[in-house]
Structure 1
């Protein structure tokens, strides 16, 4: 049996009921859907696109298994001819997308699917699921990176992530957005993300003496260990680390850093730094963790806490302050005719669209949202990444995407790097797109009046 993430049945029922209705009506023309975010979460000034590679993996492997088809045929909801038609269903369409790591803004499509209607419709739920989550985490992680400057950042969120896939993909998304690594071992194997680890309080508690625990762990990893020092008394443990470092120095056994995971992290760090420096252990770094997010990191940095790195987990991996994006995957064209949703507060811009970004000497200067076949000043952000159901280029390397994200964040206007709400980045809706929307409205109004 395939994993949940690989199954086509990991979808909403209405995708299949619509496909049944399209099948009965013989509707099989080309459809165009686009994924975009309607509005930014409060206090977010930008988003970072992520999740495209997993989307392409899903589309390339799209197919119903015999077991899934058997279940659909016996669940009582679908006709046998329709279920039989699904046996050879594959994704045969095109995908146009922004590269992962690209900064984007509301109403800008980061992905467009062009495919026969049933293919483009069926994939909606999983595409939103993949793009929304990684984009959410990458955007949160980017804010942590901006707050931390060049300090070490490690993803610590696996254990409280909302499921195994979320824990794995959040490690990927945070690394893409600028983290230095993750505690997630599988992420290290799968994507070559640097893996970091220290020890748990249980290791200390399992030994009768905290000092003995430190020494045994340091000897187990003579090339450099990180010792957790807040199990009992943080400052007393720091003194024990100084004494141990002196003893082990002659054996070329290194203590790389100490980790503080509780209490007033800034105050403890100052006291521990003073103890280490006074004891001749100034080369030992201080690593902090414990309910951190971009706001906590920003405050610790602003207060001058002598902290060299941070482990950031739950609040980033769940995007605890804003745990979802107001995003959508909507039909923009069918059978060659532009379509538009007019729902109150959820109206869409019709047709196939492109985003052009204008760049100045000091970075990003503004975007234009326009029709895909229009020419405009700036760099087009959406490119063809899949044709005839297959990638047009080898799978993107995560290291390359990470570098793209770094350059994108460096190009942000300084105001947008703030953790507070800044004036909106300028995104202009071009005249031809507005004209198309008006034409679609006139056409749909005429149909409603007949």
Structure 2
């Protein structure tokens, strides 16, 4: 299956070296086929937010569908002189055989709950660690930041303008995809439109204005080429004294006689609040109340929020480096940890990582996740991480509790539940149809709407509860007691 925008590059060797050394070691010790369960989860929400957004699944699927070690790969590994021939032959005939479960893209996610689960031969499950993290971490980071900015704009459009500031061309292309999932209305990155259908939007740069003898001539020439979608950049020289007056003159002398209405003006520097209010008055008085004002210039969610508080008359915002790099908190700390090993009888031997740093203690076992919703208003109440085979009966009350402060309990009635993890691969075979990007974006918008407003605050948001089932909590605590020895 080749999906729209899929990457044909062979990225199989994009691994950390220890994944190769461990895989070779597993094989040499005869445990390479032992079935292991790995969880991908994250520990901290960027920017101190109340939730993050899951993105990047389609690209992870593309990667897993194309796992193949080439002859050149094998020869490189052989040249290192530390890998046995049996292992190199295994890689030569490599076929992906794992089961994979994942959140759907666009799902709000929270710390310490698995967003991807991989079950399969430990050699294989270990080898895909880096790309799983790389793919999901990047797009989840950008989608999360984009959604914060979109929410700050209170219904005004957000355009992703960050291609030239991204940390690589892949980051620009896939960042635009993730930003669209998070709610942006379009991107300046043309190839993201070509590959994924993210609407590409753009008009002119200051260089266009500077290429002509006068600002008015620059506006006039642009309007003659693009009369049906004419937005002009008005801050090359002076927004109020030159840019807006010349735009209005061009609208009257060029566009209206051609039978077109102008679309907008863009302000890219200066005091956006002051300039947009002045520009709005000038446009309205000239009979162009339908002409929009777009603002750009190192914006983020906080500046956009403040501009609107100050009464800025802006209809859309172009956001660049602060979005595409998530500049204020640029690392999505997803990790990939062993959670269980399957025994010969099919049962599971849970595994746990213990640390003096409490937040680094993992949740053991093969698990799944349920999200509880209020049956009356549809709002999300809490998530519960359970053992993989636990069933939550919606017809019965269910008590959730804080896994650390266990005295904090709540018994839920009048609720519905949904399993968040869906099968993606079964025994290495893809069983999931990736939705269209537009459908992912719509799904994301609907899921975010189900969160309480208190969870969506920028500062000191209400903590959304991710609890453990009673069975899982008891297993974890027994393991903590077992390993808590001097």
| Match status 1:113 vs 2:141 | no
Aligned to 1:31: 36
Unaligned 5+ segments in structure 1 are none
1:337 is the counterpart of 2:349? yes
Q: How many residues align?
A: 446
Moved more, 79-88 or 181-190: 79-88
Q: Within the alignment, does 1:152 sit opposite 2:157 as a pair?
A: yes
Pair 1:42–1:273, CA change in 2 (3 A): closer
Deviation readout 1:169-203 (Å, 9 max, x if unpaired): 11011101111111111110111111101211111
Where does residue 293 of structure 1 map in the other structure?
A: 300
Q: Give the Cα–Cα distance (whole angstroms) in 1 for the partners of residues 468 and 155 of structure 2.
A: 36
Alignment of 1:303-342 (within 5 A): 303-335=310-342, 336-342=348-354
Asked whether 1:129 is paired with 2:134, we answer yes
2:465 aligned with 1:426:
yes
Deviations 1:94-124 (A, max 9, x none): 1111111111111111110111111100000
Q: In the TM superposition, what is the alpha-carbon distance from 1:160 to its structure 2 partner?
A: 0.4
* Contact 1:32–1:113 (CA under 8 A) maintained in structure 2: yes
2: CA distance, partners of 1:96 / 1:39: 22
Quote how far apart the aligned CAs of 1:78 are.
Answer: 2.0
Aligned counterpart, 1:353? 367
2:390 aligns with one of 362, 374, 385: 374
Tell me the CA shift for residue 40 of structure 1.
2.2
C-alpha spacing 1:422/1:20, structure 2 compared with 1 (3 Å): same
CA offset digits 1:399-428 (Å, max 9, x no partner): 111111101111111112221122211222
Other-structure match for 2:247: 241
Are 1:409 and 2:448 matched, yes or no?
yes
Shift of 1:313: 1.2
Match of 1:212 among 217, 231, 249: 217
Match for residue 364 of structure 1? 380
Are 2:49 and 2:456, in contact at CA under 8 Å, matched by a contact in 1? no
Q: Alignment RMSD, CA only?
A: 1.8
Cα distance in structure 2, aligned partners of 1:31 and 1:174: 34
Q: Distance in 2 between matches of 1:395 and 1:411?
A: 23
Kindly report which structure 2 residues correspond to 1:69-108, keeping only aligned pairs within 5 A, or say none. 69-108=74-113
Unmatched tracts of structure 2, length 5 or more: 1-6, 343-347, 395-416
1:219/1:253 contact within 8 Å kept: no
1:66-85 C-alpha deviation (Å, 9 max, x unpaired): 11111111133323332122
- Indicate which of 392, 399, 402 corresponds to 2:431: 392
* Mapped partners of 2:69, 2:122: distance in 1: 17
Distance in structure 1 (CA, Å) of the matches to 2:288 and 2:264: 10
Contact 1:98 1:382 in 2 (8 A): yes
Task: Give the SS at the match of 2:441.
Answer: helix
Alignment match, 2:408: none
Aligned positions of 1:259-274 closer than 5 A: 259-274=266-281
Task: Give the Å deviation of 1:5.
Answer: 6.2
State yes or no: 1:11 paired with 2:23: no
Distance 1:399 1:4, change over 3 A: closer
- The DSSP-based 3-state class of the residue aligned with 2:458 is coil
Per-residue deviation at 1:284? Answer: 1.3
**Structure 2 Cα separation of the partners of residues 77 and 272 of structure 1:** 68
